A and B are shown apart, each in its own frame.
Chain A
Amino acid sequence: MTVTFSDILSASFVHLYLSLIGTFAGGLIGFIVAVLGRNHARILTVFLTIAELIQTFPSIAMLALLLLVFGLGNNTLIVALALYGIMPVLQNTYEGLSAVDPMLIDVGRGMGMTKRQVLRRVELPLTFPMILAGFRVSLVTSIGIATIGVFVGSGGLGLFIYRGLQMLDNQIMLEGAVPAAILAILVELLIGLLERRLAKR
């Protein structure tokens, strides 16, 4: 059996797509929890602890557990990635919001912004680079974890790696492993570049 270039390309897209959806979903949860809980440190600590706990779960065990609920297919992988994706964004958003100079919030209020306007026009724009960094870490991790999604029947580059290992065919294995590595590095570089451009302001 041979793998064509277009097979690799389409598998890469699926791989990135699954990683993105999972990361976005998890990031969104982390973001919302951080924003809602930003003035309730104690509640937020509970959420952060839970998110960290999830993070320590071995990924293969996580997939096995979720398999029981979500069955074979992409959904199990996406849910796993979402769970892993909560912590980095939650933590970075919370830290970023806490780091906003209270004087700027006071000035915003003093000029007649509502609390919501202060959040949208002052706090979140100032926190955005941190949120983006959390998202980057989370996405890179997800691309790695997504390669073992093949065990729960999801698509992506893991399929080639698994097949290569089964067939003792290094070429096929590398046709999965190398694109996955490149994908992770590209994401890291591109988002990192965006962060640096934002930080310049």
Chain B
Amino acid sequence: MTVTFSEVTKVYQGKKPAVENLNLEVHTGELLVLIGPSGCGKTTTLRMINRLEEPTHGKIQIDGRDIEKFKEEELRRGIGYTVQQTGLFPHMTVKDNIEVVPRLLKWPKDKRDERVRELLAMVNMDFEEFAHRYPRQLSGGQQQRIGVLRSLAADPPIILMDEPFGALDPISREVLQIELKKLQARLQKTIIFVTHDIDEAIRLGDRIAIFQTGQLVQLGSPQEIVKNPVNEFVASFIKKNYQFETSNLSLKALDLASVDFHPYESHDDRIILSIDGSDDFYLVDSDHRFIGTISKENVKANQITADKVLQPIRVYDSVQNILSIFKDVNTLPVVDDGNKLVGVITSLSLMNAVARLVGGNES
């Protein structure tokens, strides 16, 4: 189901608009992350979808139907809702908590029972062991799992999550993020997920919407946003939160290498290549397989044999690996699985890669 915001503005009396002229379409089956600093309007945006907040102007539609047309309670029973700190009712058991919406929808008892078993099984929690516990008898991670299951209970097509993992320790948070990602792959719900953690946004989001003081400033896939932040604010927001994780997560050897080879000479089945930023030449065979490195002097003296035994690295080697080797050499050839030379890491190519990462402009 799609959720569409058309020119939506929310003003609290006597304050600057919490959300201003928002146009946004959430696609069926996607996980859209709303992110920004506190007070940017992300939570207000989320809460307008199930009418916990009413927009001052504009309209919100679900599958083309204005949400004003629904009865508040009926709309909400059809939309899953999870909040920070779990929001579990402390006086209800795990089972009772999960059953809240099915009960409101007057499901018969055996259908509810079956659903609770099914949901607990999804996160590998044993029914007999956990169903009759009270929330305070569970760990933080288990509580938050139940919170997520509760929002899935009546199988709603749309789920709203308001910083659901915000209060968890980093390890539990990561485990739950992975579980959510798996659940989402299986269930294909339309999920709107609020967070202030850019790592979480990049890990989970199909698309990310970045908010600043009530405005949607950028909307795009995690890759687009990391690579092309639309303005200084987005760039600094990503940088501040995401500077070094980015390189750890996604950058591989090839991203750091220069790939602009210039053929210099060929001798029989051997080709000598040069590359900007390196004084050395690179010797490959006719299939572009890496043989070795030759110094400038030897090339000039027509000595066509590899004189340096440089161990090449693989395209998918991690940044940490590369940097630990690179401090002892000037250049580092990069080969693919077939031992073909695909690039060379030089000081110049490294600096370009860093410039791309930080500045966001391709050069």
Within 8 A of B (CB), among A91-131: 103-104, 106-114, 117, 121-122, 125-126
Q: Which of B72-80, B193-201, B320-328, B348-356 contacts A (4 or more CB under 8 A)?
A: B72-80
Q: Are B52 and A106 in contact (CB under 8 A)?
A: yes
Closest chain A residue to B160 by CB distance?
A110
Residues on the B chain within 8 Å of A109, using CB:
52, 76
Closest chain B residue to A107 by CB distance?
B87
Indicate whether A196 reaches chain B with its CB closer than 8 angstroms.
no
Q: Are A125 and B77 in contact (CB under 8 A)?
A: no
Q: How far is the CA of A114 from the CA of B100 in the complex (A)?
A: 12
Q: Are A112 and B104 in contact (CB under 8 A)?
A: yes
B52, B91, B101, B160: the one contacting A126 at CB < 8 Å is: B91
Residues on the A chain within 8 Å of B134, using CB:
201
Q: Are A110 and B52 in contact (CB under 8 A)?
A: yes
Indicate whether B177 reaches chain A with its CB closer than 8 angstroms.
no
Indicate whether B89 reaches chain A with its CB closer than 8 angstroms.
yes
Indicate whether B4 reaches chain A with its CB closer than 8 angstroms.
no
Q: A111-B101, A111-B104 known; A126 and B76 CB under 8 Å?
A: no
Q: How far is the CA of A122 from the CA of B91 in the complex (A)?
A: 8
Q: Are A112 and B52 in contact (CB under 8 A)?
A: no
- Distance of A111 from chain B, by nearest CB (Å): 5
Q: Are A114 and B91 in contact (CB under 8 A)?
A: no
Indicate whether B85 reaches chain A with its CB closer than 8 angstroms.
yes
Q: Are A111 and B76 in contact (CB under 8 A)?
A: yes
Q: Are A201 and B77 in contact (CB under 8 A)?
A: no
Q: Are A110 and B50 in contact (CB under 8 A)?
A: yes
Q: Are B90 and A103 in contact (CB under 8 A)?
A: no
* Interface residues of A, dominant DSSP: helix
Q: Are A104 and B100 in contact (CB under 8 A)?
A: no
Within 8 A of A (CB), among B177-194: none
- Distance of A94 from chain B, by nearest CB (Å): 19
Q: How far is the CA of A126 from the CA of B78 in the complex (A)?
A: 26
Interface size range on B against A: 20 to 34
Indicate whether B83 reaches chain A with its CB closer than 8 angstroms.
yes
Q: How far is the CA of A114 from the CA of B150 in the complex (A)?
A: 18
Residues on the B chain within 8 Å of A201, using CB:
90-91, 134
Q: A103-B83, A106-B52 known; A112 and B91 CB under 8 Å?
A: no
Q: Are B81 and A111 in contact (CB under 8 A)?
A: yes
Q: Are A110 and B104 in contact (CB under 8 A)?
A: no
Q: Which of B90, B101, B160 has the most CB of A within 10 A?
A: B90
Q: How far is the CA of A11 from the CA of B85 in the complex (A)?
A: 54
Q: A112-B104, A126-B90 known; A107 and B73 CB under 8 Å?
A: no
Closest chain B residue to A103 by CB distance?
B87
Closest chain A residue to B136 by CB distance?
A201
B47, B73, B85: the one contacting A112 at CB < 8 Å is: B73
Q: How far is the CA of A9 from the CA of B245 in the complex (A)?
A: 78
Q: Which of B52, B83, B91 has the most CB of A within 10 A?
A: B91
Q: How far is the CA of A201 from the CA of B93 in the complex (A)?
A: 9
Q: Interface digits, A133-165 against B, CB 8 Å rule (1 contact, 0 not)?
A: 000000000000000000000000000000000
- Distance of B230 from chain A, by nearest CB (Å): 32
- Distance of B263 from chain A, by nearest CB (Å): 65
Residues on the A chain within 8 Å of B100, using CB:
108, 111, 113, 121
Residues on the A chain within 8 Å of B52, using CB:
106, 109-110
Supply 20 further A-B pairs (C-beta < 8 A) apart from A107-B87, A110-B81, A111-B104: A103-B87, A104-B89, A106-B52, A106-B83, A107-B81, A107-B83, A109-B52, A109-B76, A110-B83, A111-B101, A111-B150, A112-B73, A112-B76, A112-B78, A112-B101, A112-B104, A114-B73, A125-B91, A126-B90, A126-B91
| 6 CB < 8 A contacts A-B | A103-B87, A107-B83, A109-B52, A112-B75, A112-B78, A113-B100
B residues lining the A interface (CB < 8 Å): 47, 50, 52, 73-78, 81, 83, 85, 87, 89-91, 100-101, 104, 134, 150, 160
